[in-house]
Amino acid sequence: MNERFKNRTGEALKAADLSHHLHPFTDHGALADEGGPRVITHGEGVYLWDTEGRRILDGMGGLWCVNIGYGRKELGEVAHRQMDKLAFYNTFFKTSHEPVIELSERLAGLTPEGINDFFFANSGSEANDTALRLVRGYWAAQGRPERQVIISRKFAYHGSTVAGASLCGLPSMHDVPSLPIPGVVHADGPYAWHAGRDQHDPVYGADAADAVEAKILEIGAENVAAFIGEPVMGAGGVITPPPGYWTRVQEICRKHDILLIVDEVICGFGRTGKWFGSQTYDIQPDLMCMAKGMSSGYQPISAVGVGARIADALRRTPGVLSHGFTYSGHPVAAAVALENIDIIEREGIVDHVREKVGPSMRTQLGALTAHPLVGEVRGIGGMWALELTADKATRAPFDPLGSVATKVRNLCFERGLVTRAVREGLVFSPPLIITEAQIEEMAEILTGCLDDVATAL
Ligand code: PXG
């Protein structure tokens, strides 16, 4: 219990929130109509509690990030000790500190071979902004300033800053003027369900990768700086790559000498059953962006892992790298990230995801393929999606799009399960410590909600 916050009722908190708090990704009119937000008070393991005392199984792990689960006292203790010793110092002008040095070294040991240097920031968006700047700077320093274009993909999510939103392949992220920024283009993403193809078909894997090459040829390879992709697209709807996709995308990038940025913000730190999605799909990135699971959300911290090609060039290029954030490599966040990594390692959480969570979610959620509302189930490790459909044969969505997924999502929330509706899909990304029994509990609540929504339709 945190004494600082103990004296206000749920209703008073909701009213104050409605009066003074603007929320990310929220329809504020609808929020007010519904009487304000659900106020979450505490968490333990995979569960959350709200001001009404209801227990909720967090099927989204916060927001794809609370990999080690809630209520880990060790992280608070480490943060406390670090705040006492050195609450803050910057890493700008030829200074450093113990936590950031140790974290850099530690990440070098976990990331794929070839990624040995780390630049720190505070969010996934900032990591992707940094990557964009590094690749354009790299090419300019090589005397190739025309290589500026970044190829992203439709359905990608890469953040909400100006560069991050530009990199997103979701139309809603470009709904203000002048986004995307110049020099960011989007190839078709490997979304089998949407393309009317089979997610397990290697021919589709090759075709989807060829869409990247088609975009390169359209722009002219000589103008392209980099390709950016999530190993598995997360917020776009857990879009898993079809077989052979990443192998071929990498061949294409190599053939045209295009740098590869892998956005591991969701896939990193065990989510796909290896430390990084790049290891699951055998990807050798030039730059690797990470955040979320790096601290399991206990502190805001992110990083870009930098491969030798760019790191060596940076070290060779005279002058200052004029980029960074006050809190790049924040000592408290770095200390917490280190402790989080220790826990993941000590408790064998990555193996747990590969051996238990993934297979169990495949079985439990996969069984719902037979449900009348469900068209496809897909995922890997601790990230899964159900694609709902009005017609399994034509794959037609419901009208209006997303209406049924939103109903199921709202009912799940009422019955104590957090999921997220993405278009006509439902996504799941629970804390990675989830047990098989808790996955069963999740599937049971979900099945009941699907049944009841189907009956009401
Ligand atoms: N890359 C990826 C792959 C992400 O999933 C970001 C970058 C940006 O990270 P920050 O820390 O700047 O938010 C993300 C974030 C959703 C949702 O609705 C997902 C994210 C953020 C907000 C909402 O699923 N992912």
CA angle (70, 74, 75) in 5-degree steps: 65
Kindly report whether the peptide bond that precedes residue 400 is cis, defined as omega within 30 degrees of 0: yes
Which atom, in ligand 1's list, is nearest to the CA of 427?
A: 24
Percent of all residues in the chain with a pLDDT value above 70, rounded to a whole number: 100
Give the integer Cα–Cα distance in Å for 239 and 210. 17
CA-proximal residue: ligand 1, atom 21 (nearest): 159
Q: 85 in a domain, yes or no?
A: yes
Kindly give the distance from the C-alpha atom of residue 294 to the centroid of ligand 1, in angstroms, as a whole number: 13
For residues 209 and 341, membership in a common domain is answered with yes
Give the integer Cα–Cα distance in Å for 234 and 246. 16
Q: Residue 422 is part of a domain; what is its CATH number?
A: 3.90.1150.10
Kindly give the distance from the C-alpha atom of residue 257 to the centroid of ligand 1, in angstroms, as a whole number: 28
CA-proximal residue: ligand 1, atom 19 (nearest): 235
What local confidence, expressed as pLDDT, does residue 401 receive? 95
Is the separation of the CB atoms in 234 and 425 below 8 Å?
Answer: no
Which tens digits make up the pLDDT trace of 65-85? 999 999 999 999 999 999 999
Is the separation of the CB atoms in 131 and 163 below 8 Å?
Answer: no
Which tens digits make up the pLDDT trace of 213-246? 999 999 999 999 999 999 999 999 999 999 999 9
Which of 266, 278, 426 maximizes ligand 1 atoms within 8 Å of its Cβ, making it the mutation to test the pocket? Answer: 266
CA-proximal residue: ligand 1, atom 1 (nearest): 158
Give the integer Cα–Cα distance in Å for 118 and 287. 10
Final residue of a domain: which of 346, 377, 405?
346
For residues 354 and 394, membership in a common domain is answered with yes
For residues 276 and 133, membership in a common domain is answered with yes
For residues 339 and 358, membership in a common domain is answered with no
Confidence of residue 445 (pLDDT cuts 50, 70, 90): very high
Q: 17 in a domain, yes or no?
A: no
Confidence of residue 5 (pLDDT cuts 50, 70, 90): confident
Kindly give the distance from the C-alpha atom of residue 125 to the centroid of ligand 1, in angstroms, as a whole number: 7
Which tens digits make up the pLDDT trace of 7-60? 899 999 999 999 999 999 999 999 999 999 999 999 999 999 999 999 999 999
Beta strands in 66-192 (DSSP E): 115-121, 149-153, 184-187
What local confidence, expressed as pLDDT, does residue 1 receive? 60
Helix (H) or strand (E) holding 56: strand 55-58
Q: 30 in a domain, yes or no?
A: no
Q: How many domains does the chain have?
A: 2
CA angle (308, 311, 315) in 5-degree steps: 130
Which atom, in ligand 1's list, is nearest to the CA of 161?
A: 12
In the predicted structure, residue 412 carries a pLDDT above the cut 90: yes
Final residue of a domain: which of 323, 346, 369?
346
Final residue of a domain: which of 316, 331, 346?
346
Contacts of 81 (CB under 8 A, 6+ apart): 335
Contacts of 153 (CB under 8 A, 6+ apart): 169, 186, 187, 188, 189, 190, 212, 229, 233
For residues 326 and 404, membership in a common domain is answered with no
In the predicted structure, residue 378 carries a pLDDT above the cut 80: yes
What local confidence, expressed as pLDDT, does residue 7 receive? 82
Q: 339 in a domain, yes or no?
A: yes
Q: 10 in a domain, yes or no?
A: no
Kindly give the distance from the C-alpha atom of residue 391 to the centroid of ligand 1, in angstroms, as a whole number: 31
CA-proximal residue: ligand 1, atom 15 (nearest): 159
Kindly give the distance from the C-alpha atom of residue 297 to the centroid of ligand 1, in angstroms, as a whole number: 12
Neighbouring CB atoms inside 10 A of 162's CB total 15
Mean pLDDT of 377-401: 97
What local confidence, expressed as pLDDT, does residue 418 receive? 98
For residues 341 and 352, membership in a common domain is answered with no
Q: 259 in a domain, yes or no?
A: yes
In the predicted structure, residue 2 carries a pLDDT above the cut 90: no
> Residues lining ligand 1, CB < 6 A?
25, 63, 123-125, 128, 157-160, 164, 230, 234-235, 263, 265-266, 291, 420
Kindly give the distance from the C-alpha atom of residue 168 to the centroid of ligand 1, in angstroms, as a whole number: 10
Mean pLDDT of 156-166: 98
Mean pLDDT of 103-108: 98
Residue 59: which of 392, 388, 357, 387 has the closest Cα? 357
In the predicted structure, residue 107 carries a pLDDT above the cut 80: yes
Give the integer Cα–Cα distance in Å for 244 and 37. 43
For residues 284 and 377, membership in a common domain is answered with no
Q: 451 in a domain, yes or no?
A: yes
Which of 64, 126, 233, 290 maximizes ligand 1 atoms within 8 Å of its Cβ, making it the mutation to test the pocket? Answer: 64
DSSP character at residue 180: S
Which of 167, 265, 269 maximizes ligand 1 atoms within 8 Å of its Cβ, making it the mutation to test the pocket? Answer: 265
Give the integer Cα–Cα distance in Å for 276 and 430. 17
Is the separation of the CB atoms in 204 and 192 below 8 Å?
Answer: yes
Kindly give the distance from the C-alpha atom of residue 80 to the centroid of ligand 1, in angstroms, as a whole number: 27
For residues 309 and 441, membership in a common domain is answered with no
From the number of C-beta atoms within 10 Å of its C-beta (0-12, 13-18, 19+), residue 333 rates as buried
For residues 356 and 329, membership in a common domain is answered with no
What local confidence, expressed as pLDDT, does residue 249 receive? 98
For residues 329 and 422, membership in a common domain is answered with no
Which tens digits make up the pLDDT trace of 180-198? 999 999 999 999 999 999 9
Mean pLDDT of 88-93: 96
Is the separation of the CB atoms in 431 and 68 below 8 Å?
Answer: yes
Residue 285: which of 295, 277, 293 has the closest Cα? 277
CA-proximal residue: ligand 1, atom 18 (nearest): 235
Owning domain of residue 160: 74-346
In the predicted structure, residue 4 carries a pLDDT above the cut 90: no
Average per-residue pLDDT in the chain? 97
This prediction's pTM: 0.98
Kindly give the distance from the C-alpha atom of residue 158 to the centroid of ligand 1, in angstroms, as a whole number: 6
What local confidence, expressed as pLDDT, does residue 230 receive? 98
Q: Which two tokens stand for residue 281?
A: 């799909």
In the predicted structure, residue 403 carries a pLDDT above the cut 80: yes
CA-proximal residue: ligand 1, atom 7 (nearest): 158
Give the integer Cα–Cα distance in Å for 392 and 370. 10
Is the separation of the CB atoms in 401 and 424 below 8 Å?
Answer: yes
Q: 32 in a domain, yes or no?
A: no
Kindly give the distance from the C-alpha atom of residue 178 to the centroid of ligand 1, in angstroms, as a whole number: 21
Q: Residue 247 is part of a domain; what is its CATH number?
A: 3.40.640.10
For residues 169 and 273, membership in a common domain is answered with yes
For residues 191 and 331, membership in a common domain is answered with yes
